[in-house]
Chain A
């Protein structure tokens, strides 16, 4: 019954969206004649009610799907495919959009919701455009609902409902994947709003103000896309286990392309609002943004683009292609029909080396970037048509084609604030030249000194340094100018500056974020490092300044998968850094998921993958990847989001609302930060780390069971066998007889034995000692202080310290008498 209600809701929504379009159109018709203005009003009101109702119904349908997941309604085919009884609640929620049907329903709901918000809360400037916007938005919603209802139905029922679902694709069980699709969809769906308003503006000839009218929506869509892309990159980096974050895969490009055109639109809108033209360009950008959204959906579902990342060839392809053709054809025709109205706006153009020129170049470059990536994605089809041979564009192709374009964009980021308008600009440039040259020099020099020597990368660093210096100079100058007027403290002045000129400084923050991301991209793309190595247990290897020691392999059965991980200690020189635990999970159905372990750092990330092992766990194969400067990418991404959020944030009249808005924004930013960085990365710190052989054994003070204390220093001059154990540990008690035997053999030969118990209590320890007749001194390690200092990862572990206080031998696991004797004999010589 639950599924059936969902179907009915979808059907009613379709009818309503068609009605809304009709009612709005009728209202527009009637408004032309003053006599029927009242009837016009009625029709428009009815249309608006329909828009609200649409959002409510589709929201209800989505809610029903959610409920179906949460209460395990496996008679619904989609639920059975993507959920099961054992997965946790938060994953059941994200399973709603794990497949095509559910994600389309999410799309429909967002479409209706945004339409309701955009038309209901339209700003003063946008009022006259709302009725036509309603027509277009309702038609778009109708299209998506029709596709969902007839071609990709989420509520199809199974005649024989299974007892349990198939479960969620293991790779999607990452909290980041909860937010990545919805964020992307906010972007995709959001782009329909500026498009609809643009069409309304064209029809009613209200060209002048439309960009300002929908500035907020454009920013929201742009930010949503950006967040979605960043989250996708971080998820790929964390989960997919190939050490990278962007493969230039057509599906990735499908999200990047509309982001390019929307960024171009944002910049063009600035020009248009300053009465400097770019009307036609902005129209084209908004049309293509929306068309690219449809194209992205089409391309990934039609099989036209060969992609490993793609979905199965589905029947949706043809319908989306038709939608694209209709949209492009109709909007371009309308644009042409209204060309007279657009021509009125002739830009006041200054020279190329001016702010206007920079904006022009920016738009030009984003256009060529869009074309480049589009060509690359379609290259197999294009080359087959033109030359008969199918060529494919790999990552190298994309890097080579887009790299220089991005580099010039970064250069423009730096030039734009420097090149203002007129004479004042030249004076400013002269004043700032040392700052800017300094920036352009320090970054490459610093990079070169820390090991980055490739020429192209140094050029990239120079450009980034230049742009960064120019942008930071804007902040500094802004603060200085303000302080001259208000005499505030510098931080306060900065705060006021950000608060009062959100768009300008939000934009500069975004630029700063992009510059940092560029540094990360240069580091990872131009200095790749990857190595495969097989190690035996206890064996170490040196990699780029790190020492990696493969300690041991462990297995555990968790929920519905078998997890195997390796403990790999990481040292730099003699200093223990952490223990990485790269993992491999084997799920029922023989599907494996690699979980890499990560040691992040400012200079680089150490990225470790467990590839394979021998059956008995004595040997394992690892892939070691070092990603240079990659954290600049994530840091830059956060600053980018912060800047976008700042530009977006509304300024409201009441102080309380402002505080609320600010807190919400900050919370969202932290949320994004957590999604980017907060995922566990498979590293664990075992105290101070195990001391390496040859290192001085960490000193400690132990209270002995029989009274008195001893310290390791007291035992200098003797060989000390330090054994960490516990009475509740079966392997430990296994080795106790052996330890006692060897102790008895060597106790007058200058050898001391010391037993240290881990998380144990006096009585059980005493009974164990009595049971095994242990006579060497034993003490309890209260508070785990000593085990921390020795980086114990498990018990038993035995350390042999020579007469000079240095670690001579480390044995993990129960030690046999022969092994102990061999070691002691060697030391006594």
Chain B
């Protein structure tokens, strides 16, 4: 029976190590996932953290300096809750409405990198970065998704 004990102990150790890894990584590397409205309502303390925000790209605000390279654009608030999105008619509709809304909450994003292929009007952008004192979000990473009719195999545009 000693054999069985060593197995149980080993098993517990493995599980314990897994739990430790998960918890410690969540604490340190995980990021807040927010909407534009939530960011605007954030306090100063939260400004320090890495945040991830999802929003609709307003095409006419896209400015691209190819030589820097640097792209700035504005994103508009998009609800985070999928049920809410469904109620409002689906993601494509929600993105479209957000872009049309003249008083919707908006956030300017600055990204020092090449302009992603999919950055266009009404695209859904998931931006990771930090807020700066000037009220703009300086992005480390911009992920884009087409508000699509292409349902399968939507390409991941990941620019780090």
Interface residues in chain A, defined as those with a beta carbon under 8 Å from any beta carbon in chain B:
81, 97-100, 103, 166, 169, 171-172, 177, 181, 236, 239-242, 244, 247, 249, 302-304, 306, 308-314, 349-352, 357, 360-361, 364-365, 368, 371-372, 375-376, 379-380, 383, 389-394, 396-397, 400-401, 404-405, 530, 532, 534, 590-594, 609, 611-614, 619, 621, 623
Contact = CB atoms under 8 A, between A and B. Distances in A.
A532 B33 CA distance: 28
Contacts of B158: 240, 242, 244, 247, 308
B7 A352 contact: yes
B102 interface: no
B133 interface: no
A397 B23 CA distance: 10
20 contacts: A166-B149, A240-B157, A241-B117, A304-B82, A306-B54, A310-B154, A351-B3, A357-B10, A360-B10, A379-B30, A390-B32, A394-B31, A397-B30, A400-B21, A401-B25, A591-B118, A594-B117, A612-B66, A614-B67, A621-B114
Contacts of B30: 379, 383, 391-394, 397
Given A375-B22, A591-B117, A103 B126 contact: no
Contact of A609 (B17, B82, B114, B143): B114
Given A349-B4, A368-B18, A392-B30, 8 more contacts: A98-B150, A303-B85, A308-B144, A308-B157, A313-B90, A391-B30, A400-B25, A404-B17
A397 B25 contact: yes
The main secondary structure of chain A at its interface with chain B is: mixed
A621 B66 contact: yes
Interface in B5-27: 6-7, 10-11, 14-15, 17-18, 21-22, 24-26
Contact of B152 (A247, A311, A357, A389): A311
Contact of A309 (B34, B52, B156): B156
B60 to A, nearest CB: 14
A800 to B, nearest CB: 31
B113 interface: yes
A357 B6 CA distance: 9
B105 interface: no
Interface in B83-107: 85-86, 90-92
Interface of B: 3-4, 6-7, 10-11, 14-15, 17-18, 21-22, 24-26, 29-34, 52, 54, 64, 66-67, 69, 80, 82, 85-86, 90-92, 113-115, 117-118, 120, 124, 126, 128, 143-145, 148-160
A710 B75 CA distance: 67
Nearest to A584: B117
Of the candidates B32, B85, B114, B152, the one having the most CB atoms from chain A within 10 angstroms of its own CB is: B152
Given A311-B151, A313-B91, A532 B114 contact: yes
A405 B16 CA distance: 12
Contact of A590 (B120, B128, B157): B120
Nearest to A389: B32
B91 to A, nearest CB: 6
A612 B114 contact: yes
Nearest to B17: A404
A351 B10 CA distance: 11
B67 A99 contact: no
